[in-house]
Amino acid sequence: MTNVYVHGVGMTQFGTFVDRTMKDLLLDACIQALKEAGNPKVDAVYVGNFMGGSIYNQEILGAIVANELGLGFIPTAKVEGACASGGIAVRQGVIGIQSGEYETVLVAGVEKMKHASTADVTQAINAAMDNDSNEKRAGLTFPGFFGVLANRYFYETDASKKHLALVALKNRENAIHNPLAQFRKPATLEEIMEARMITNPLGLFDCSPMTDGAAAIVLSSKKSPVHVRASAQSSGPTQMQDADDLLSIPAIKESGRLAYEKAGVGPEDIDVVEIHDCFSMTEMLAIEELGFFRKREGWRAVEEGRTKVTGDKPVNTSGGLLSRGHPIGATGISQLYQLVHQLRGTAPNQVEGNPRLALSQNLGGTGSYSVVHILERV
């Protein structure tokens, strides 16, 4: 199969940008990535985006990118997979190159959320649940789903709210050093523990924020120092009541298993990780599902600092969704932005010892989609 390499990455600052349009953010990230790649001839464009249509009244993002950048009459598409839109878009680029159809693909992700009211954004986000269900009618929400998981996790383990707070604190500390992150102010464990409750036991710091931002990546079959060693995707239950084991998110587990199989490596070989911490509880489950720590023991690893930048399995050195920010369609690509820099040795919170293998995991919905990519420094 054709090998796929990363030739350039780009990313805007994440945060609140009232004076910038969605197109402006999207093109900014694309131009950064293309410049870094040496402005190659692009054969196709994929754009990850979730709510451009519903809250920004803007679709056709693929054609807009090709047109504004003067890329010619090439094929383009917008890709939607809730919060995994960016990761799925990257995967379409990878598959397009692996098939032999394209040599070089530009993949971008963008979301503009901060111009809209919280109620409108919340409603748009809820489109990523199965809304024709008794579960939605009962009033379950996204943070609600992870709140239910967290209470069961506490019930079955010796973990407590403090362990979730330690996840949030770690990611906040990492974001302080990331110039592109949304939240760069320090927070204390006490502040995190005592923050306003959203869905018991999850408080404000346990939930990822609303964010404006964009990220982009240029992939090609031509060689570069960063190889896409594996791209894998899975789907899972769209309703909580269908979960076989509530403390498992099978889409994460299965996409991880497939990625390890394709790459011919195991969780023990991975040097640095970006995972989808839409909630602190999600990071706790994902580090278990991806095989870094044993089931129901992720909290111990967090307590021992093993997922810190200085730990043996550094997770979310960018600050993660919780503090780097979560511009939905851009999130999956911003994970790769951080990992490419880790492999080049130029990342904020650079992991020591020349990391060689890096893993990203991007989740959509309440476990509906999961995408895993494994990158390798060659």
Partner 1 sequence: MKIFACTNCDYHSVTSKYTCPKCQQGKLQETEVSASGTVYSFTDIHIAPAEFAHIAPYTVALIQLDEAPVKVTARMDAEVQIGDSVELKGLEEGAFIYTKAD
227 is catalytic: no
The total of other beta-carbon atoms located within 10 Å of residue 109's CB is 35
Q: Quick one: DSSP state of residue 46?
A: E
- If the CB atoms of residues 185 and 196 are measured against partner 1, the closer one turns out to be 196
- The single residue among 113, 175, 218, 243 that binds partner 1, judged by CB under 8 A, is 243
- The single residue among 52, 87, 93, 144 that binds partner 1, judged by CB under 8 A, is 144
Question: What's the closest the beta carbon of residue 251 comes to partner 1, in angstroms?
Answer: 13
- The single residue among 141, 157, 224, 248 that binds partner 1, judged by CB under 8 A, is 141
Q: Which of 83, 163, 276, 278 is catalytic?
A: 83
Q: What is the dihedral of CA 183, 189, 194, 197, to 10 degrees?
A: 50
Quick check: 158 binds partner 1 (CB under 8 A)?
no
Q: Which strands, in side-by-side order, build the sheet including 5-11? A: 76-79, 44-48, 104-111, 213-220, 5-11, 226-235, 369-377, 357-364, 272-275
- By the 10 Å C-beta count (0-12 exposed, 13-18 middle, 19+ buried), 336 is classed as buried
Quick check: 62 binds partner 1 (CB under 8 A)?
no
Q: Which of 276, 326, 341, 373 is catalytic?
A: 326
- If the CB atoms of residues 137 and 185 are measured against partner 1, the closer one turns out to be 137
Question: What's the closest the beta carbon of residue 134 comes to partner 1, in angstroms?
Answer: 6
- Residue in the structure block whose two tokens are 């998110």: 249
Tokens of 324: 């780097």
- If the CB atoms of residues 138 and 378 are measured against partner 1, the closer one turns out to be 138
x/- site string to partner 1, residues 110 to 139, per CB under 8 A?
---------x--xx--x------xxx-xxx
Quick check: 240 binds partner 1 (CB under 8 A)?
yes
326 is catalytic: yes
Question: What's the closest the beta carbon of residue 23 comes to partner 1, in angstroms?
Answer: 29
- Return the range that interacts with partner 1 (CB under 8 A); candidates 157-165, 192-200, 316-324, 331-339: 192-200
364, 53 contact by CB (below 8 A): no
- The single residue among 92, 151, 160, 221 that binds partner 1, judged by CB under 8 A, is 151
51, 113 contact by CB (below 8 A): yes
Quick check: 239 binds partner 1 (CB under 8 A)?
yes
Measured between its terminal Cα atoms, the distance across the chain in Å is 17
- If the CB atoms of residues 144 and 364 are measured against partner 1, the closer one turns out to be 144
Q: Which parts of 315-374 interact with partner 1 (CB under 8 A)? A: none
| Sequence-separated (6 or more) residues with CB below 8 Å from residue 184 | 175, 176, 178
189, 166 contact by CB (below 8 A): yes
Rounded distance between C-alpha atoms, residue 320 and residue 322, angstroms:
5
Residues annotated as part of the active site: 83, 326
* Contacting positions for partner 1 (CB under 8 A): 119, 122-123, 126, 133-135, 137-141, 143-144, 147-152, 155, 196-202, 239-243, 246
